[in-house]
Amino acid sequence: MPLKKIRRELKKHSSKTKAKLLQGYFKTGPGEYAEGDIFIGVTVPALRNISKQFSGVGLKTALKLLKSPIHEERLLALLILILQYRASGFKGKEEIYREYLKHTKYINNWDLVDVTAKNIVGDFLRDKDKSVLYQLAKSGYLWDRRIAVLSTFHFIGHREFDDAMKIAGILLSDEHDLIHKAVGWMLREVGKKDLSVEEKFLKKHCKRMPRTMLRYAIERFPVRKRRLYLYN
């Protein structure tokens, strides 16, 4: 019954025109990174409102929704999981964290990763062993690697940079553009907190970093400094 109510609510906010635009934006065509993903055209603000409305559904219901072939249903499930995680004690947080990692095959686009990894995986692991992040960073599955990167944003927010820098080092030779962008973004966030940490990494690795990764990392630098990194 909860799933039927949720889907009825989503249908109220859906748009065929928006769905068509989203399928192009999120690269759902043949051979693209989200090939075959289905959109119904619900905006993120609407999804956030719906997640609050249904935040009390059971974890099993949220996980069933996460397995949906429809992108917005998966995103809604993840938004619900974030709300449930924040409202839970340690045992509840641990259960949501573990279920999240069991279901990464369904967390299969950059927006799904980016909205959740910091808030669930990063938050849970901050004061714990982080070896799972290194396993994810070495995974053959694109979205596991992006989860590893985005999870470190929680640590960066607390000025804890070691794991972010180590994971950036592991992913320097990654072949996927979405990882280049994510690592460059991560380095830029480190630089906002402590520029010396970012520049130490850049001076050591800039000549072999993918250009997209480097450009993202130095985006906020003055023009002259950007040129030094790009052309020297």
Instruction: Quick: pLDDT tens for 72-98.
Output: 999 999 999 999 999 999 999 999 999
What are the structural domains, with CATH classification, of the chain?
Answer: 1-106 (no CATH), 117-232 (1.25.10.90)
Compute the average pLDDT of residues 101-121: 97
Percent of the chain predicted with pLDDT > 90: 92
pLDDT average, residue stretch 193-204: 97
- Asked if residue 148 lies in contact with residue 178, where contact means CB atoms within 8 angstroms, the answer is no
pTM for this structure? 0.95
pLDDT band at 1 (very low <50, low <70, confident <90, very high): low
pLDDT at 99 over 90: yes
Q: Is 31 left (phi over 0), alpha (psi -120 to 50) or beta?
A: left
Q: Can you tell me the mean pLDDT for 209-224?
A: 96
Rounded CA separation 135/164 (Å): 14
Mean pLDDT for the chain overall: 96
Asked whether the beta carbons of 145 and 126 are under 8 A apart, the reply is no
pLDDT at site 131: 97
Report, as an integer, the average pLDDT of 197-205.
96
The token duo for 23 is 């399928």
What average pLDDT does the segment 120-134 reach?
A: 97
Q: Is the pLDDT of residue 38 over 80?
A: yes
Q: How confident is the model at residue 125 (pLDDT cuts 50, 70, 90)?
A: very high
Question: Residue 124: enclosing H or E segment and its boundaries?
Answer: helix 123-125
Residue 34 has pLDDT above 90, yes or no: no
